[in-house]
Amino acid sequence: KQKNSHQVEFLQAAEEIFISLVPVFEQHPEYIEHNILSRIVEPDRIISFRVTWQDDQNQVHVNRGYRVQFNNVVGPYKGGLRFHPTVNESIMKFLAFEQIFKNSLTGQPIGGGKGGSDFNPKGKSDSEIMRFCQAFMTELYRHIGPDVDVPAGDIGVGGREIGYLWGQYKRIRGAYEAGVLTGKQPGYGGSLARKEATGYGLVYFVEQMLLDANETFEDKIVAVSGSGNVAIYAIEKAQQFGAKVVTCSDSSGYIYDPTGIDLEVLKEIKEVKGDRISTYVNYRPNAVYTEGCTGVWSIPCDIALPCATQNEINGDSARTLISNGVKVVAEGANMPSDLEAINEFLNNGILFGPAKAANAGGVAVSALEMAQNSSRISWTFDEVDGKLRNIMKSIYSESKEAAEKYGYAGNLVVGANIAGFVKVANGLLTEGVY
């Protein structure tokens, strides 16, 4: 704590995991003997670098780039790149740390990493985005590789950015190392169903939670936050399963559409026009737009799917959701609920699906993309989607069983942390002290 006292998000993530690992340490003294906790909490390395780029007016800008290579016991470092002005070392470390256990939970051979930059993509032209991505990769390339570290997208990094990053990597390396990045365009090294994977995976995870409670998505009212990649495809799959999704949001405000979000309109606004969510009401006059994104949690729902960003649900929002009758909360974003909110959910009998388990579908399909790249084969959409659904099912059952085994039946936070951790800890033991 002393070493990282200024890294609020990282400490929050570490605290959440460590608290839930207490029962594991009680049963496994070898982890204490080999100082596993201290070894796991210190990243293998943190790379930080200057990114210099020119805007359309020929002004020169400098941003900071990061790559945190946290742990590669289970496989090459793997985790997304985030371009957002809030990016700093603490946020990179929290995301990379969580990624270790999430990736371990997927059962795929991938370690934990994360990266990004404090670059703000909002309002930038396409050529500015391209120049930034090229400048970013001009430094990053020396630290990554298909067997070393495999970045992907995250907030502010979608298919377009991955395309520019991939092109630059290829030019510098002079080789078609497709497995170096995931989230590439299908037909150009990318996997079908990767774009949909995190949102679909989240809904497949909730499907399992509901199944255990003898419930389904049919006719449930669902509140979703965000309107990016994760949110859009969570909405799509929830609607396919018969739910009525009534909200979405961006960092400025939220939409409440009591008759159900019109997905075609949402895609048109976000994926085609790149507009703000406030414009939704121009297409759907019965919908209401309200400024302020956290207000989305005041809308009554059966199932809440936070899919925007970290700490978007605090204790107050959690209490509002509970008093409005929410039954299930599952995290599409990374760490969207703060510790107080998680405790509110757990203490009030709400079924709670933590990010590490519930949003692991994206990285799981990224690992499937790596497998396809290595074998030079492309699977069909249905093949990938089928594998994704099975992976989410097994993440759910492993998390549930780990919670039961260590005396926390029904607590998927503890279960997911333990199931993810034990595999990494045992791997560390086999590698000896280093």
Catalytic residue among 1, 93, 114, 387: 114
Using rule CB under 6 A, residue 228 touches ligand NDP: yes
Residue stretches of the annotated binding site: 78, 99, 102, 153, 198, 229, 366
Residue nearest to ligand NDP (CB): 228
CA–CA dist 299, 65 (Å, integer): 38
Map the footprint of ligand NDP across residues 172-211, applying CB under 6 A.
Answer: 198
Number of Cβ atoms within 10 Å of the Cβ of 381: 12
3-state secondary structure of 85: coil
Using rule CB under 6 A, residue 306 touches ligand NDP: no
- Adjacent-strand bridge partners of 337: 313
Burial class (CB in 10 A: 0-12, 13-18, 19+), 60: exposed
Using rule CB under 6 A, residue 229 touches ligand NDP: yes
| Neighbouring residues of 400: CB distance < 8 A, sequence distance ≥ 6 | 212, 412, 415
CA–CA dist 238, 188 (Å, integer): 29
Radius of gyration of the chain (CA): 21
We find the least distance from the C-beta atom of residue 198 to ligand NDP, in angstroms, to be 4
Which residue, 111 or 362, has its beta carbon nearer to ligand NDP?
A: 362
CA–CA dist 9, 86 (Å, integer): 12
Using rule CB under 6 A, residue 333 touches ligand NDP: yes
* Strand bridging mode 247-249 / 253-256: antiparallel
CB 103 within 8 A of CB 111: yes
Which residue, 387 or 405, has its beta carbon nearer to ligand NDP?
A: 387
CB 361 within 8 A of CB 385: no
CB 115 within 8 A of CB 136: no
Q: What is the largest CA-CA distance in the chain?
A: 63
Residue selected from 75, 76, 151, 156 as contacting ligand NDP according to rule CB under 6 A: 156
Residue selected from 17, 129, 137, 293 as contacting ligand NDP according to rule CB under 6 A: 293
Using rule CB under 6 A, residue 153 touches ligand NDP: yes
CB 168 within 8 A of CB 144: no
Using rule CB under 6 A, residue 369 touches ligand NDP: no
We find the least distance from the C-beta atom of residue 129 to ligand NDP, in angstroms, to be 13
Is 114 an active-site residue? yes
Residue selected from 100, 155, 223, 287 as contacting ligand NDP according to rule CB under 6 A: 155
Draw the binding track, 345-364, toward ligand NDP (x: CB under 6 A; -: no contact).
Answer: --------------x--x--
Map the footprint of ligand NDP across residues 247-266, applying CB under 6 A.
Answer: 250-252
Which residue, 138 or 191, has its beta carbon nearer to ligand NDP?
A: 191
Which residue, 79 or 138, has its beta carbon nearer to ligand NDP?
A: 79
- The residues that are catalytic are 114
Residues forming contacts to ligand NDP in the complex (CB under 6 A) are 153-156, 198, 226-231, 250-252, 293, 307-309, 312, 332-334, 359, 362
